[in-house]
Amino acid sequence: MNILISPNAFKGTMSARESGEIIQTFIRNKFSKVNTEVLPIADGGDGTCELLTEILKLERKSVWALDPFGRPIPCSYGWDKDAKKAYIDVSTASGIAKLGNEAKKPFVASSFGTGLLIGHAVDLGAEEIILGLGGSATVDLAIGMLAALGVVFLDERGRELTQFSPNYLSKIRHIQRSLRTPNNIRFSCLCDVRNTFFGDRGAIPVFGPQKGILPNQIETYEEECKTVIDRLFLKQKKTFEDRSGFGAAGGIALGLSAFFETEIKFGSEYFFETVNLEIKVKWADLIITGEGRYDSQSSEGKACYELLQLAHRNAKKITLITSGRERGVEQFDQVMTLPDLDFSQENYRENSKRNLLALLESEFSPES
């Protein structure tokens, strides 16, 4: 029997690789005649490009950048010299996880640090940036990234605005493209949500509160963003049209599209194709996947849902490991439910691994 183990990350507790190796070790120890292969999956969420760098065996470049509040932070990204492609996660420098339990400061947080990583790749000769949008701490329309790439933002007196200063967006009055701004770079933005930037399901009302925007600030912040967007596209003599995916990561793909060739790619599809996942699915008799909590958003392009569709198209059985029993899990052939974690405990990460192993011991059988 062949079992493909393809979990997504269990957000905040286990990486996709960690959980996959726990499952594989358990099966090898208990069912010695079963063949297993681990191929972790991602969908544009936090760590997607890091996982692609690992699976594709890309060169890893280590660089110092700045976190969402402008503090130095060591970072890395994947580099494909032959294809002249860099694989960069926004979460590496500008991720909300970098802030830990700090107070969120949405009117200060900037994607400038990610722009520094992109600039480093451009200096190496990159012509395409694969940009994983998941896990960002910012709602800045990629203004920070653009500034790091040479676009100059000026206040009402024509003075260049200082990065990471409070209420940066509201102070922008003029925009200039400098000689430092690269001309031959294009972006492929990987995302796991289909939200537009504006509207009831837009970036600010849906994702803004996660990043510290209060309910009574949403309308004003949207208006400020609209003013900046108008200035960006007017500067480039382009017409703005809101698109599916522009709501991801605080409008990063939106802002980049004003100045650069930018394509939104839904991360699961891109990831599956890049790592040739369907070949592995055809090899398998059973597929095991999982994520922290499979819920109503999962069917909007998340990795586990897309793997479910791929399994069904190839008439393969698929098991889901997750917490909770949200609607949609009934589509899987088997669902194994993890207990909820107490995140106030210091050892919650170790508990998550013990819980996974205990669940496998009590419920998993290759023939179930």
CB-based contacts of 3, cutoff 8 Å, min separation 6? 27, 34, 35, 36, 37, 284, 285, 286, 287, 288, 366
Q: What's the pLDDT at 230?
A: 97
Judged against a pLDDT cut of 70, whether residue 346 lies above it is answered with yes
**pTM score, whole prediction:** 0.92
User: Is there a contact between 153 and 147 (Cβ–Cβ < 8 Å)?
Assistant: yes
Most distant CA atoms of the chain, gap in Å: 73
CB atoms within 10 A of CB 353: 15
* Segments making up each domain of the chain, as ranges: 2-41+287-363, 48-268
> 85-94 burial string, b = 16+ CB within 10 Å, else e?
bbbbbbbbbb
pLDDT tens profile 178-225: 999 999 999 999 998 899 999 999 999 999 999 999 999 999 999 999
Q: What's the pLDDT at 347?
A: 85
Which CATH number is correct for 2-41+287-363, 1.20.1050.10, 3.10.129.10, 3.40.50.10350, 3.30.930.10?
A: 3.40.50.10350
pLDDT tens profile 112-166: 999 999 999 999 999 999 999 999 999 999 999 999 999 999 999 999 999 999 9
Q: What's the pLDDT at 208?
A: 93
Judged against a pLDDT cut of 80, whether residue 19 lies above it is answered with yes
User: Is there a contact between 2 and 35 (Cβ–Cβ < 8 Å)?
Assistant: yes
pLDDT tens profile 274-306: 999 999 999 999 999 999 888 767 766 789 999
How much of the chain, in percent, has pLDDT values that exceed 90?
Answer: 84
Beta bridge partners of residue 356, listed in sequence order: none
pLDDT tens profile 256-277: 999 999 999 998 999 999 999 9
Q: What's the pLDDT at 368?
A: 63
User: Is there a contact between 204 and 213 (Cβ–Cβ < 8 Å)?
Assistant: yes
Which CATH number is correct for 48-268, 3.40.50.300, 3.90.1510.10, 3.50.50.60, 3.30.70.260?
A: 3.90.1510.10
How much of the chain, in percent, has pLDDT values that exceed 70?
Answer: 99
* pLDDT (mean) for 310-325: 94
Of 240, 273, 281, 279, the C-alpha closest to 258 is 240
